[in-house]
Amino acid sequence: MIVLGLTGSIGMGKSTATASFRRLRVPVFDADAAVHQLQSRGGRAVGPIGAAFPGAVQGGRVDREALRRAVLGNAPAMKQLERIVHPLVRDAERRFLARARRGARRLVVLDVPLLFEGGGHARCDRILVVTAPAAVQRWRVLRRLGMTPERLAYILSRQLPDAEKRRRADYLVHTNMSRHAADRDIRALVRELQAAPPPRRRRR
């Protein structure tokens, strides 16, 4: 089974790429979705986050805006949150991969925004980076509800620069042309990887 890591900075079109893989029936582990589930009612992260960040849990679920205010610009608080959430996401990822292996899948995708930053690339056989020009990225992100230039700058400060991601990638998909073009590139990549022999060892 080939494990393809999918990553890209905010606003680069990762969601579009993920949708393309799913349309092609390639199993995708969405780390962001896993975090949302962990922080929803009954999620495994709700109790620990509530204990660590009083006021961040309302009605049995994490109030994401209250949590964001608690950690924004506060490096120790962010580290504390990561110590709670990251092991739980990693456990969900392990279970996803185990199910895929039992199902004899030839290709799976790990959709992880901070793949390089968190060391997740070492668990992948190949890396795909979605990319677009900085002006396109900024335009996309600042259209989002509640986004500000200051918040965008903070998010980008925590992410590996796009140029470095592209340098370390095995494959690139450019999302500034059209959805059809990106979808075409992903279809070609899926055909290539599904026909490839299984890897002998993981990358480092």
Q: What is the reported pTM? A: 0.89
Name the CA dihedral angle for 172, 137, 111, 153, rounded to a multiple of 10 degrees. Answer: 130
pLDDT in tens, 57-78: 999 999 999 998 899 888 899 9
**SS3 category, 41:** coil
Contact 8, 128 (CB under 8 A): no
Domain ranges of the chain: 1-27+105-204, 36-104
**Is the model's pLDDT at 200 over the cut of 80?**
no
Please give the Cα distance from 101 to 109 (Å, whole number): 13
pLDDT in tens, 13-26: 999 999 999 999 99
**Alpha helix segments (H runs only) across the chain:** 14-23, 31-39, 46-52, 64-71, 75-102, 134-142, 149-157, 162-168, 179-195
Please report which helix (H) or strand (E) contains residue 61, including its range.
strand 61-62
Which CATH superfamily hosts domain 1-27+105-204? P-loop containing nucleotide triphosphate hydrolases (3.40.50.300)
pLDDT in tens, 73-130: 888 999 999 999 999 999 999 999 999 999 999 999 999 988 999 899 999 999 999 9
